[in-house]
Structure 1
Amino acid sequence: MNKSLRNPLVFTLFILPALLLFLIFFIYPIFSSLYYSLTSWNGVSDSVKFTGLSNFEKAFGDDRFWVSVKNNGWFILFSVFIQVPLIVLFSLLIANVKKLKGLYKTAVFMPSIMSTAVIGILWGFIYEPNIGLFNKVLGIVGIEPVYWLSDERFAMLSILITNAWQWTGFYIVMVLAAILSIPGELDEAAAIDGASRFQRATRITLPLIVPIISVVIMLSIAGAMKAADIVIVMTKGGPAGSTEVMATYMIKYAITNFKYGYGNAIAVLIFIFTLVVTVLYQLLFARRNERIEY
Structure 2
Amino acid sequence: MNKALKNPLIFILFVIPALTLFFVFFIYPIFSSIYYSFTSWNGVSDTVKYTGLTNFKKALGDERFWVSVKNNGWFILFSVFIQVPLIVFFSLLIANVKKLKGLYKTAVFMPSIMSTAVIGILWGFIYEPNIGLFNKLLGLFGVEPIYWLSDERFAMLSILITNAWQWTGFYIVMVLAAILSIPGELDEAAAIDGATGFQRATRITLPLIVPIISVVIMLSIAGAMKAADIVIVMTKGGPAGSTEVMATYMIKYAITNFKYGYGNTIAVLIFVFTLIVTALYQLLFNRRSERIEY
Task: State if a TM-score over 0.5 links the two structures.
Answer: yes
How far did 1:8 drift?
A: 1.4
Equivalent-residue separation in structure 1 for 2:278 and 2:292 (angstroms) = 21
Q: Cα deviations across residues 87-117 of structure 1 (Å, max 9, x unaligned)?
A: 0000000000000000000000000000000
How far did 1:291 drift?
A: 3.2
How far did 1:290 drift?
A: 6.7
Match of 1:282 in 2: 282
Equivalent-residue separation in structure 2 for 1:136 and 1:18 (angstroms) = 53
Match of 1:271 in 2: 271
Equivalent-residue separation in structure 2 for 1:173 and 1:15 (angstroms) = 32
| The 10-residue stretch of structure 1 (11-20 or 65-74) with the greater mean CA deviation from structure 2 | 11-20
8 Å contact 1:42–1:258 — kept in the other structure? yes
Match of 2:262 in 1: 262
How far did 1:284 drift?
A: 1.9
How far did 1:163 drift?
A: 0.1
Equivalent-residue separation in structure 1 for 2:96 and 2:248 (angstroms) = 41
Aligned CA-pair RMSD: 0.8
User: Matches of residues 86-235 of structure 1 in structure 2 within 5 Å?
Assistant: 86-235=86-235
How far did 1:293 drift?
A: 2.5
- Paired positions, count: 294
Supply the AA of the counterpart residue of 1:286.
N
Equivalent-residue separation in structure 1 for 2:231 and 2:132 (angstroms) = 19
| The 10-residue stretch of structure 1 (90-99 or 283-292) with the greater mean CA deviation from structure 2 | 283-292
SS of 1:175's equivalent?
helix
8 Å contact 1:211–1:292 — kept in the other structure? no
User: Matches of residues 243-262 of structure 1 in structure 2 within 5 Å?
Assistant: 243-262=243-262
Supply the AA of the counterpart residue of 1:22.
F
SS of 2:287's equivalent?
helix
8 Å contact 1:211–1:290 — kept in the other structure? no
Q: Cα deviations across residues 200-246 of structure 1 (Å, max 9, x unaligned)?
A: 00000000000000000000000000000000000000000000000
8 Å contact 1:211–1:291 — kept in the other structure? no
**TM (normalized to structure 2)?**
0.99
**TM (normalized to structure 1)?**
0.99
Q: Cα deviations across residues 159-209 of structure 1 (Å, max 9, x unaligned)?
A: 000000000000000000000000111001001100011100000000000
Gaps of 5+ in 1: none
SS of 1:288's equivalent?
coil
Q: Report sequence identity in percent.
A: 89
SS of 1:227's equivalent?
coil
SS of 2:4's equivalent?
helix
Match of 1:238 in 2: 238
8 Å contact 1:64–1:241 — kept in the other structure? yes
Equivalent-residue separation in structure 2 for 1:5 and 1:191 (angstroms) = 51
How far did 1:287 drift?
A: 3.0
Say if 2:28 is the partner of 1:3.
no
Equivalent-residue separation in structure 2 for 1:173 and 1:287 (angstroms) = 24
Supply the AA of the counterpart residue of 1:149.
L
Equivalent-residue separation in structure 1 for 2:58 and 2:116 (angstroms) = 32
How far did 1:9 drift?
A: 1.0
Match of 1:56 in 2: 56
How far did 1:2 drift?
A: 2.5
